[in-house]
Structure 1
Amino acid sequence: MNRKKLLGILGAALGLVLVFVWLAGGFVGKVSTEAKHTAGTPQAGGQTIDWTVVPERRMFSGSLQARQQANLSARITARVAEVLVDAGDRVEAGDVLLRLESDDLSARVRQQEQALASAQARVNEARLNFQRSEQLVSQGLLPEARLDEVRAQRDSAEAEFNRAREALSEARTSEGFSMIVAPFSGVVSRRSVFTGDTATPGMQLISLYDPQTLRLEAAVSESALGVLSIGDTLKVNLDVLETVITGQVVEIEPAADTASRSFIVRLVLDTDAQLYPGMFGKVTVTVGERQALLVPSDWVTHRGQLDFIQVNTPAGPERRIVRLGDTHSIDDRLWVEIAAGLHPRENVLPQR
């Protein structure tokens, strides 16, 4: 290996080392985690912080699901002749959503109608023959065995007529399968086929749901289930909404999921916002009470990933790093929990 290649390798290695040091923050001044004092005497205007009783809350994730929804599928094999709706369209109960080719089915209906007419003619003839034979037998002009024969012919003709009538009903029902109609009023959520596609039995064609039946389905752990009951009003956070809304518990499934040990709780949401199935949300359940140290949220400053408060000490104001907890609204003011970094009876100063 010549000298030039060796210098190139050493230069590349040195460059990688410098990059790693830079990524590790070696060239950036670190924020000291030690409390900093400001020379002087304690300031007035602070607030002594002590334990405050706050509700113990737990949040559980869920998603919006429609109570009334349907996946419409084909019951026959046929080519898609026309699709009359798109995803997002609003439909009414009984509206035709999709039409399959039905020429062969219509032809079968006509054939069965003709077969039924032929069976009707044979029944009429067999009944007339039976009436005539019955009169002749009663007059002694025909033997009794002849009456039994025409009776059997009549019964056979009537059975054939009933079979033809049922076959016509079946043909008409199959013809009706070529028209896919909405079973209820709602919104089309998915269209899975297009004109020219071949539909087969069981193949999903169109999905729709009723937006008036949207519910938030949340998986609530069994440890929190004991505080819930039908009719409870809970706070709900939806990612699509900027404000917190409320929801009323309308259903609690009485069986737990064996894997997560959670129960499905369904809530009706109190909002007029445009919502869709599958949207993510969280429901807040109050499971009890606990003690916490609270300070006004605007008394906390942030620098990067660190949070600070000003503590009034005998040596003067002290900037201290703290770890924050939950936020609470008390008397129309936001307060934040100090999970670590503050002790009871300490005096906290507002930020200047």
Structure 2
Amino acid sequence: MQSSAFTALRARRQRGMARVGLIIVVVAAVLIAWGLYSRHRAAGKLEEATDAQIAQPVQVVKPQAAGGDLDLLLPGNVQALAEAPIYARTDGYLKRWRVDIGTQVKAGQELAEIDAPELDQQLRAAQADLASVEANEKIAQVTADRWRDLRESDSVSKQEADEKIAAAAASSASLNASRAEVQRLKELTGYKKIVAPFDGVITARSTDLGRLIGAGSGGGELFRIADMRSLRLYVNVPQQYAAVMKAGLNAEVRFPDRPTTPVTASVARTSGALDAGSRTLLAELKVDNADGLLLPGAYAEVRFKIPAQAGGTALLLPSNTLLFNGSGLRVATVGSDQKVVMKSVRLGRDLGTQIEVTDGVTADDQVVIAPSDSMTDGIQVRVVQPDAKADAKPDAARPAEAKS
């Protein structure tokens, strides 16, 4: 009995030790597995962190639909409807001037008077010569008539009669020449009074009393007159918008000295040809200036409303998303795997800070802003958000946007 009891006790002890050993083995296996898992997870996190540090940070933007009319902002130069320099037509000294800058004048109104004593003397001498030629012409005509009568009665030879008749004709021609010379000098004398060629405003006076005046442009400009009731506004339009610049197209015009008061102008005509140097079309707009508040020579900002392309398929991207290299014009997009996919694009109109893309991207693409020249397909990137602090800067601290 005692022997069988001892055997049973020892068997129980062996089973308990086996169970403890099994537990120890299981615990050890769990600890080893947990250690391996923790090490693998740490290695994975380290790899992710390393990849995140190596991946190039980029900011992205999605293309926007170019629906509705687009704004085209261009610089313009203002000129008067008519502007002309005033020169003298005769030599002399300025006797008096009657208008100054800013004076409103009418066509034919006297602006100044020139004292030309030499011209007056030439006119008197020509008139005296005319009187002498008239007297000689009368004598020659009377003599010719008498010799015609004598020739009819064969009292003189035909040769002598022809000579007297020819002398009378020569005297008549001399009379006409003398009369033309007197008329020429009278007209020059009339130019001693300088008058306005059209209604306008005197914008410059470049002479004064006693100044020696020379005839023509070599004598210097005396006055400058401008008709400012209507103004011409000239704009150089880029080639891609030349097709829409038709007569009657309206534009909003703003002037630096009147920034809150826009003026409406309309296209009157275009040059009909592109400038070979700038590839631009010269367009002329008419601006009403009946109140006289606008000034010729001013700079203006002209804003056109350009109709969107038919079909509305064009998309808008910031201009700094474009990348031009040996493969052509492309943009860099970011795929779902955070890798770069380069796409070739076709451009429409250049809107200054934005560009119109007609083919190559979709509205769902994430397009990289300001891609580096070395960016190629397959590069790992990470998308980051714009710096909130930079976005929080006041508008006054931001650089002004470039205008077309």
2:229–2:288: 8 Å Cα contact kept in structure 1?
no
Question: What TM-score do the two structures reach when normalised by structure 1?
Answer: 0.66
Name the amino acid aligned to 2:152. S
1:228-250 deviations in Å (ceiling 9; x for gaps) = 20011111111121222211111
2:100–2:202: 8 Å Cα contact kept in structure 1?
yes
After superposition, the Cα gap between the structure-2 partners of 1:133 and 1:157, relative to the gap in structure 1 and judged at 3 Å, is same
> Of the candidates 236, 257, 260, which is equivalent to residue 253 of structure 2?
236
Displacement after TM superposition at 1:66 (Å): 1.2
* Partner residue in 2 for 1:329: none
> Of the candidates 78, 93, 109, which is equivalent to residue 95 of structure 1?
109
* Partner residue in 2 for 1:282: 301
Cα distance in 2 for partners of 1:257, 1:319 equals 45
User: Whose Rg is larger?
Assistant: 2
* Partner residue in 1 for 2:339: none
* Partner residue in 1 for 2:100: 86
- Give 5+ residue unaligned stretches, structure 1: 1-49, 294-317, 325-338, 340-352
Quick check: 1:63 aligned with 2:77?
A: yes
- Give 5+ residue unaligned stretches, structure 2: 1-63, 309-314, 319-386, 394-400
Cα distance in 1 for partners of 2:392, 2:167 equals 97
> Of the candidates 361, 383, 391, which is equivalent to residue 322 of structure 1?
391
> Of the candidates 248, 267, 273, which is equivalent to residue 266 of structure 2?
248
Cα distance in 1 for partners of 2:147, 2:99 equals 62
2:88–2:213: 8 Å Cα contact kept in structure 1?
yes
Cα distance in 2 for partners of 1:100, 1:258 equals 47
Quick check: 1:153 aligned with 2:172?
A: no
Name the amino acid aligned to 2:144. F
Cα distance in 1 for partners of 2:302, 2:194 equals 38
> Of the candidates 209, 215, 220, which is equivalent to residue 195 of structure 1?
209
* Partner residue in 2 for 1:299: none
Choose between structure 1 and 2: higher strand proportion: 1
Name the amino acid aligned to 1:234. A
SS in 2 for 1:275: coil
Structure with the greater relative contact order (CA < 8 A, sep ≥ 6): 1 or 2?
Answer: 1
Quick check: 1:216 aligned with 2:285?
A: no
Cα distance in 1 for partners of 2:144, 2:392 equals 101
SS in 1 for 2:244: coil
Displacement after TM superposition at 1:213 (Å): 2.9
After superposition, the Cα gap between the structure-2 partners of 1:199 and 1:255, relative to the gap in structure 1 and judged at 3 Å, is farther
Cα distance in 2 for partners of 1:78, 1:218 equals 43
1:72–1:206: 8 Å Cα contact kept in structure 2?
yes
Displacement after TM superposition at 1:259 (Å): 2.6
* Partner residue in 2 for 1:26: none
Cα distance in 2 for partners of 1:249, 1:51 equals 28
Name the amino acid aligned to 1:212. R
Cα distance in 1 for partners of 2:243, 2:389 equals 40
1:285-311 deviations in Å (ceiling 9; x for gaps) = 233545599xxxxxxxxxxxxxxxxxx
* Partner residue in 2 for 1:12: none
Quick check: 1:162 aligned with 2:167?
A: no
Choose between structure 1 and 2: higher helix proportion: 2
Name the amino acid aligned to 2:169. D
Name the amino acid aligned to 1:322. D
2:252–2:303: 8 Å Cα contact kept in structure 1?
yes
Q: Map 1:12-51 to 2 at 5 A.
A: none
Cα distance in 1 for partners of 2:307, 2:391 equals 25
Cα distance in 2 for partners of 1:229, 1:131 equals 73
Cα distance in 1 for partners of 2:213, 2:94 equals 7
After superposition, the Cα gap between the structure-2 partners of 1:98 and 1:88, relative to the gap in structure 1 and judged at 3 Å, is same
Cα distance in 1 for partners of 2:131, 2:392 equals 88
1:147-192 deviations in Å (ceiling 9; x for gaps) = 1121121012111111111111221122123221111111111111
SS in 2 for 1:255: strand
